[in-house]
Amino acid sequence: MYTAADLRKGLKIAIDNEPYIITAFDFAKPGKGQALYRTKLKNMITGSTLDRTYRSGETFEPANLEDRKMQYLYKEDDHYCFMDNDTFEQIHINEAAMGDAKNYLIDNLPVDVLIFREKAIGVDVPNFVNLRVTQTDPWVKGDTSGSDSKPATLETGYVLRVPPFIEEGELITIDTRTGEYSTRVKG
């Protein structure tokens, strides 16, 4: 069971027995007032969204999802294909259900495919994923313009900001919970 203090982007909770994922989260506390936890929720089956504001003390049940260990194989049209590591069964998930996870999919990436009533409705990727930088402008040594980050495109097409010293072809670690650069992979 979760409390309001556990709410955060990416958490999956059950509402009326259906799985919802929090797609945006905001902690608010108007002067001297009570804490309010404002969420945008997406129904993981229908894709419909709703806004809900919760208060301290409210409790939530985790979304009742089964997860299966699978690996990413390939994308075809608007579907992503995954394979069960034990049974070799392959399943397809459409792009709309992938959410931010599609930014991190490289061949053979291990994922948890989320199953609700025997239907695959989403994937969880590892918290940290290593991806190669395919394009970024070179760093001019001695640059004192004060620029402290620059855009970089990764092998999945995902674009994010990285430190100026990162070069094309380097492998970097992304924190998939925030979508931000975490560290450079040495060697």
Partner 1 sequence: MSGSWPLSKRRNALLERGAIFSRVRAFFQEKGYLEVETPFRIPAPAPEANIDAIACAGWFLQTSPELCMKRMLAAGYRRIFQICRCWREGERGVRHLSEFTMLEWYRAGVDYLFLMEETEALVCAVAARPRIRYRGLDIDLATPFERITVAEAFRLYAGSTVTEALDAGLFDELMVERIEPRLGVVRPTFIYDYPPCCAALSRLKRGDATVAERFELYIGGLEIANAFSELTDAAEQRSRFEAAAAERAALGKPPYPVAEKFLAALAGMPESAGIALGLDRLVMVLLDAESIDEVVAFTTEEL
Give the interface with partner 1 as residue ranges (CB under 8 A): 5, 25-36, 38, 53, 56-57, 146, 148-149, 163, 165, 181, 183-184
- Shortest CB 100 distance to partner 1, Å: 18
Cα–Cα separations (whole angstroms), residue 2 to 20, 61, 63, 68, 112: 14, 6, 11, 23, 21
Q: 34 vs 134, which CB is nearer to partner 1? A: 34
Q: 27 vs 74, which CB is nearer to partner 1? A: 27
Q: For residue 6, what is the DSSP state?
A: G
Q: 35 vs 45, which CB is nearer to partner 1? A: 35
Q: 77 vs 148, which CB is nearer to partner 1? A: 148
Q: For residue 81, what is the DSSP state?
A: E
- Shortest CB 126 distance to partner 1, Å: 19
Contacts of 179 (CB under 8 A, 6+ apart): 100, 103, 158, 160
Contacts of 133 (CB under 8 A, 6+ apart): 152, 153, 154, 155, 162, 166, 167, 168, 169, 170, 171, 172
Q: 39 vs 103, which CB is nearer to partner 1? A: 39
- Shortest CB 73 distance to partner 1, Å: 32
Q: 41 vs 93, which CB is nearer to partner 1? A: 41
- The dihedrals phi and psi of 101, each to the nearest 5 degrees, come to -55, -30
- Shortest CB 79 distance to partner 1, Å: 35
The token duo for 10 is 């990416």
Q: Given the DSSP bridges, would you call strands 79-84 and 66-76 parallel, antiparallel or unpaired?
A: antiparallel
- Shortest CB 105 distance to partner 1, Å: 24
- Shortest CB 34 distance to partner 1, Å: 5
Unique residue bearing structure tokens 């919802």: 20
